[in-house]
């Protein structure tokens, strides 16, 4: 990316982080760690890579996103709100009675959400089915699927990956959020998953590893997947759970935490200062 675009995407990532805080602070607590770790990839996807129209969220020609780690709805809602799929203020309704923004993403409730997820692992098969659909229809739409590193402990993920490789779903891009922590603590203490890059390669994916909180590295790796071919793509995103808010990063168990008024004020002030620097 040119410097100007890079700054724009970084600014979008910062706005997404602000949206995550607005939504989670409004309801009191939520899945903040894993939402923050994917803010940068969402900024790259919605800032430059994916085709979509916020005014026509069901447009046939759009690229699709499946947030298989469905509990990170706050990050996706923040992205969609910033991009104008629905009014920004709606973020403050998250998880409140009658909301269109439930904790886990739901295709029947939220404009711009392409698939319902929540039972970990299931989004991978859904994404494979969606990618296969586009192939059957002869369309060039792509399907991006964000999978958690803890989620990859679910066997269904690997069924879906072997399927995607066998059916040559080169329009499928799996974005693995390797943030190294899960609800009960560090992945390596709960159930170590070994070398994700080697695993994806063994499963037949075109695989690269990038700094998943670096929009430039992400942009380059994702742009590479446009070339198609006969293999699905995996991008192992080396991320920090809670990325972008140092205090959250430093909380070891930051999967789902409360955000009080003091924290909210401090963290949003910091992010707004960054934004000012990026946007001038």
Partner 1 sequence: MLKVVYNGEMDPRQGKTVTGKVIPELLANDPKIVYLDADLMSCIGTLKLAKGNDRVIECGIAEANMVGVAAGLAAAGFKPICHSFGIFSSRRAFDQAFLSAGYAKNDITILGSDAGVSAAMNGGTHMPFEDMALYSALPGATVIDVSDATCLDSVLRQCPDRPGVKYIRFSRKDYAKIYDEGSELQIGKAVTLREGDDVVIFACGLLLHEALQAAETLAKEHGISAAVVDCFTVKPIDREAVAAWAKKCGAAVIAENHNRFGGLYSAVSQVLLEEALVPAGCVAVEDEFGEVGPQKYLAQRFGLTAEHIVSVAKDVIARKRRGQEDAGTNA
Applying CB under 8 A, does 118 fall inside the site for partner 1?
Answer: yes
**Per CB under 8 A, does 114 bind partner 1?**
yes
As a whole number of angstroms, the distance between CA 233 and CA 210 comes to 13
CB burial string 154-168: b at 16+ within 10 A, e below: bebbeebbebbbeeb
Instruction: Find, among 180, 201, 196, the residue nearest to 243 by Cα.
Output: 180
C-alpha pair distances (Å), 202 with each of 1, 41, 148, 151, 179: 31, 24, 19, 19, 22
Minimum distance from CB of 227 to partner 1 (Å)? 22
> Is residue 255 a contact partner of residue 29, using CB atoms and an 8 Å limit?
no
Cβ–Cβ < 8 Å for 275, 14: yes
Interstrand relation of 257-258 and 29-30 (parallel, antiparallel or unpaired):
antiparallel
Q: Which of 7, 62, 100, 167 binds partner 1 (CB under 8 A)?
A: 167
When asked if residue 106 is in the footprint of partner 1 (CB under 8 A), the reply is yes
Q: To the nearest whole angstrom, how small is the minimum distance from the Cβ of residue 53 to partner 1?
A: 18
Interface with partner 1: number of residues (CB under 8 A): 30
Stretch that binds partner 1, among 129-137, 179-187, 216-224, 263-271 (CB under 8 A): 129-137
Nearer to partner 1, 134 or 177 (CB): 134
Does residue 134 belong to the site contacting partner 1 (CB under 8 A)?
A: yes
If the CB atoms of residues 40 and 114 are measured against partner 1, the closer one turns out to be: 114
> Is 136 a residue that touches partner 1 (CB under 8 A)?
yes
Q: How far is the CB of 154 from partner 1 (least distance, A)?
A: 9
Question: CA dist 3 to 6, 149, 218, 233, Å?
Answer: 5, 31, 14, 26
Site residues (CB under 8 A) for partner 1? Answer: 106-108, 114-116, 118-119, 122, 124-134, 136-137, 155-156, 159-160, 162-163, 166-167
């Amino acid at each position: 990316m040119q410097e100007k675009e890079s700054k724009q995407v970084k600014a979008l990532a910062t706005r997404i982080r602000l949206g995550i805080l607005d939504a989670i602070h409004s309801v009191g607590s939520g899945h903040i760690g894993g939402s923050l770790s994917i803010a940068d990839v969402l900024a790259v996807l919605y800032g430059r890579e994916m085709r979509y129209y916020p005014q026509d969220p069901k447009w046939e020609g759009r690229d699709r996103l499946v947030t298989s780690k469905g509990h990170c709805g706050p990050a996706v809602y923040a992205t969609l709100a910033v991009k104008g799929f629905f009014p920004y203020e709606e973020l403050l309704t998250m998880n409140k009675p009658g909301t269109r923004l439930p904790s886990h993403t739901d295709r029947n409730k939220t404009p711009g959400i392409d698939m319902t997820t929540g039972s970990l692992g299931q989004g991978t098969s859904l994404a494979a089915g969606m990618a296969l659909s586009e192939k059957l229809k002869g369309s060039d739409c792509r399907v991006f699927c964000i999978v958690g590193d803890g989620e990859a402990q679910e066997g269904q993920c690997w069924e879906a990956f072997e399927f995607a490789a066998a059916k040559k779903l080169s329009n499928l891009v799996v974005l693995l959020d390797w943030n190294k922590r899960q609800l009960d603590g560090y992945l390596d203490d709960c159930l170590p998953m070994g070398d994700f890059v080697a695993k994806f390669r063994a499963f037949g994916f075109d695989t690269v590893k990038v700094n998943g909180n670096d929009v430039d590295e992400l942009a380059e790796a994702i742009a590479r997947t446009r070339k198609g071919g006969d293999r699905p793509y995996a991008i192992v995103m080396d991320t920090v759970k809670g990325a972008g808010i140092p205090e959250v990063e430093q909380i070891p168990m930051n999967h789902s935490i409360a955000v009080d008024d003091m924290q909210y004020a401090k963290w949003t002030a910091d992010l707004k200062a960054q934004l000012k620097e990026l946007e001038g």
